[in-house]
Amino acid sequence: MKLSNILASVNQVEKSKFINALDRVCNEAMTHDKELAKRVQKLDGQIKNASSGEIVQLFKLVLPYFEKSVKEQLAMLGVQASLLTNIVSRDGNSIARMSWLETLYLKEWGEIDRLSKEINNQFEEEDQQTDYLSEIRRLDIYHACLREAYFNDEAHNRDAKITDDERGILNILASKLDITAEFKNAIEHLVNQIPQNGVMDCLNAMRELGIVFVRRKDHLVFIADEVVAMLNRILGKDLADKHVLRILRTLSDAELSNILKAHDKRIRGIERKDKIKTIIAMGLKSHHMLKEDLCPSDSGLNERKERLKLLIEDLSLDLEKIGTTLDERADLIISCLNNSAEFEFNALSATGFKEMFASLQQHFPELNTMLQTEFEIEDNEALDVDKLRALSITPYDILYVLTNDEVKAVRDSMGLSKRGNPRLMILESFADATDRLIENYAALAQRDLAALKAENIEITEAEIGVKFEEVTKAIFEQLGLEVDEDLRRSINTAKDKVDILLSLSDDDVIIGEAKTCKNGDFAKYSTTSRQVKAYVNRCENAGKRVAQVLIVAPSFSDDFVESAEMDTEVNISLLEARGLKQILDAYKNRRNPKFSAKLFTKGGLLKTDLIAKNI
């Protein structure tokens, strides 16, 4: 979830720890950063008075200083904070209950403790004649160096700890000795045992640093997408696990074996799924894996470059250039995957995403369990598209949780072409389904089942209202507007449910309502007015300014139009469904279309002919 949406989901008291942490960093940085000082002055020198949008902009500006501060203070909190940071920054853990994070911590602690005991037993059994380059000997060297780095402070009558400088040297040593992340954690546990208890205290300490937000009413912990990216940099991860999985799914069995062999892991008799699981657990740097491990050790430079070129095609990455050197190609793959979320959410409309998820659930009744396991989501959490979107799990991520054989089975059952990337074929099929609904948007608005069935669109009467709302969102997205599902989800309650939220900026929004009507003009003004005014209050309580309320319907009665124009409590614009489709058609037909959401803020019944003409 984005930082701006988390700020809209928590109250002022719950924001305060983050704001205080930001304020401390700003005060320290302003002494030598004039640009930052000017920004704070625009806020009257008080960050606590800033709007959510201003806080987000300030965070972006101060991020290098904030990251440095967090890195230093996490080191002071010790190994427990390091382990907990690794957990909260993982895929699927950006929104979780405190008790679930404690459960994940204890599970992780148990695995580290088990592995550290195994390593210690091997140390005790180690023969002096053991090959110098063997895994146990390399682990022993790293253990000796880490132990010295930790305890050398005691010789100078200081508390034992590993400084940033020492940590940097140890990281280089681990890289040169090929010590993977799981072994690094286990060896550190041998030297400086990670506490098994006190998780909640550590989580609260991280809250003081501004890393996490805690919503007290339901004990939910939030960590912003922007902060997750920052923590991954601090932890030295160049790709999230879900993106590493995506690469590994694309590789052949032989290439998976190459990666394991490069790190002295067993490959004989190991199934493909277990190879993938082992590689992810190793926590390898993706850049090194792509550049060095993917191909056989005797492969030439040109062969390695060509393999990365093919990988770019297999992953269907949209790159303007593919790079000329091996390093460039590896960097481009990593950068593209790290910045893929927005593109991947936009690849399918809200309708398309829901239809794809529902279809996959039919093919795989255990899909929810698979996703909960892969992304460490609490098993009593109801999984739907809104929840997945809030956790930054895209349609692509879901398809890559499925094995290659499972995806091909879905493709074949849908009767799709066997040529090309099967995951892309599935995505495109659901994008096409949304396009057909957009083409028949007016019939959908009028609840004209006969016209829809004549176009081979199978839909029930009960589904029409939801479909109209979702297709309206898809049209707004195709017009280049930001349909903010995270914010909508955070604002909605069981009683008040906004249909559509368009974000104009970090603070300004348009509330959208999609209304179908079977016979005649839409005429229920008093009911609709009460609804939208409740939604306006919800948005304003979340720190958002409502620039306009936009109601979309097949057509409006004269009384409805007059009442909307005379309403003094809220600004309302009315948009007929055929007119919105006319605007979209005009937008698509222009070579360089220019469209602004401000065209929807004129009030009253909008003149769609004029809007379409001026796009």
Phi-psi label, residue 26: left if phi above 0, alpha if psi -120 to 50, beta otherwise: alpha
pLDDT tens digit string along 311-357? Answer: 999 998 989 899 999 999 999 999 999 999 988 988 888 778 988 99
Q: Which residues pair with 572 in a beta bridge?
A: 549
Q: Which residues of 52-75 are buried (b: 16+ CB within 10 A; e: fewer)?
A: bbbbbbbbebbeebbbebbbebbb
How many alpha carbons fall within 13 Å on the CB side of residue 49?
Answer: 7
Length of the chain in residues, anyone?
615
3-state SS class at 157: coil
Res 561: pLDDT? 95
DSSP string, 457-494: ----GGGHHHHHHHHHHHHHHHTT-EE-HHHHHHH--S
Confidence tier at 1 by pLDDT (50, 70, 90): confident
Res 496: pLDDT? 87
Give the long-range contacts of residues 288-291, CB within 8 A, separation 24 or more.
289/247, 289/259, 290/247, 290/329, 290/330, 290/333, 290/334, 291/326, 291/327, 291/330
Distance (Å, whole) CA 252 – CA 401: 17
Select from 504, 583, 581 the least CA-distant residue to 548: 504
- pTM for this model (two decimals): 0.81
Whether the CB-CB separation of 546 and 539 falls below 8 Å is answered with yes
Res 513: pLDDT? 95
Res 167: pLDDT? 86
Percent of the residues in the chain that have a pLDDT greater than 90, as a whole number: 63
Query: What is the overall mean pLDDT for the chain?
Result: 90
Distance (Å, whole) CA 154 – CA 187: 20
Distance (Å, whole) CA 257 – CA 251: 10
pLDDT tens digit string along 28-45? Answer: 888 888 877 877 776 655
Res 131: pLDDT? 65
**Average pLDDT in the 459-480 region?**
91
Res 525: pLDDT? 93
Q: Which residues pair with 302 in a beta bridge?
A: none
Distance (Å, whole) CA 500 – CA 351: 13
**Average pLDDT in the 66-72 region?**
92
Kindly give the pairing relationship between strand 482-483 and strand 500-503: antiparallel
Distance (Å, whole) CA 343 – CA 206: 31
pLDDT tens digit string along 485-519? Answer: 888 988 888 888 999 999 998 889 999 999 999 88
Tokens 């799924």 found at:
273
SS3 content of the chain, % helix, strand, coil (to 5): 65, 5, 30
Spell out where 338-486 has E strands. Answer: 482-483
Res 130: pLDDT? 59
Distance (Å, whole) CA 98 – CA 217: 12
Q: Is the dihedral of CA 412, 417, 419, 425 positive or negative?
A: negative
Give the number of other CB atoms < 10 A from CB of residue 453: 12
Report the chain's terminal Cα–Cα distance, integer Å: 33
Q: Which residues of 113-130 are buried (b: 16+ CB within 10 A; e: fewer)?
A: bebbeebeeeeeeeeeee
**Average pLDDT in the 150-175 region?**
88
